[in-house]
Amino acid sequence: MTFEPKIVGFLCNWCSYTGADLAGTSRIHYAANVRIIRVMCSARIDPTFVLKALHDGADGVLICGCHPGDCHYSEGNYKMMRRYPLLKALLADYGIEKDRVRLEWVSASEGQRFADIVNDMTERVRALGPSSIKTALATDMAER
């Protein structure tokens, strides 16, 4: 059986979720590997969510918010913009491959862009193979 990556997508309600919706209503075909979780704003995406998704077995995490300047709450996406580089540094220190977590800005009119991002990310994560985090932690607890 071929490996199908499980990717958790955190999408902001106002731009990116609507963009993903547009991809659907426009009947754009794209990889079915992203499980979308709608949040009110990309600022709501606590880094804990990303780590928890990886801990629980996600192979990748996609974060999407409004383009800078377009946030429904004026400043929310900037908070995500600031967290992201530090989160990437933390993930690198924990030895997580960089392609497993990705931040993209997707507007409500960018259905095609959302589909392209999902397709590209799915292929990158597929190339990395399944995430070993969940099984590695279970093995740590089982044998010493």
Partner 1 sequence: MADKKLQIAIYWGAACGGCDVSILDTNEFILDVDALCDVRLWPLAADGKYKDVEAMADGELDVTIMHGAVRNSENEHMAKLLRQKSKIFVAYGSCAYMGGIPGLANLVPREEIFARAYLDNPSIEPGNRTVPLSETTVNGHDLEIPKFYDRVYKLDQVVDVDYYVPGCPPQPDQCKAAILALVGALTGTAEAPPKGAVVGAFDRALCDDCQRTKTEKKIKRFYRPWQIMQDPDTCLMEQGILCAGSATRSGCGVRCPNSGIPCRGCYGPAPNVLDQGAKLLSAVSSIIDSKDPQEIDQILEGLPDFTSFANRYGVPASLLQRSHRQ
Closer CB to partner 1, residue 32 or residue 141?
A: 141
Q: How far is the CB of 85 from partner 1 (least distance, A)?
A: 6
Closer CB to partner 1, residue 28 or residue 90?
A: 90
Q: Of all helices (H) and strands (E), which one includes residue 92?
A: helix 76-93
3-state secondary structure of 62: strand
Q: Distance between CA atoms of 111 and 39, rounded to whole angstroms?
A: 18
3-state secondary structure of 118: helix
Q: Which position has the token pair 């009947």? A: 27
Q: How far is the CB of 122 from partner 1 (least distance, A)?
A: 20
Cα dihedral 136, 137, 140, 143, rounded to 10, equals: -80
The DSSP bridge pattern shows strands 60-65 and 34-39 to be unpaired
Binding part of the chain for partner 1, among 1-9, 12-20, 26-34, 52-60 by CB under 8 A, reads 52-60
Angle subtended at Cα 11 by Cα 37 and Cα 108, rounded to the nearest 5 degrees? 135
Closer CB to partner 1, residue 24 or residue 85?
A: 85
Q: How far is the CB of 13 from partner 1 (least distance, A)?
A: 19
**Per CB under 8 A, does 57 bind partner 1?**
no
In which order are the strands placed within the sheet that holds 34-39?
34-39, 7-12, 60-65, 101-105
**Per CB under 8 A, does 3 bind partner 1?**
no
Q: How far is the CB of 31 from partner 1 (least distance, A)?
A: 24
**Per CB under 8 A, does 130 bind partner 1?**
no
Binding footprint of partner 1 on the chain (CB under 8 A):
43, 46-48, 50-52, 54-55, 68, 78-79, 81-83, 85-87, 89-90, 93-96, 132-133, 136-137, 140-141, 144
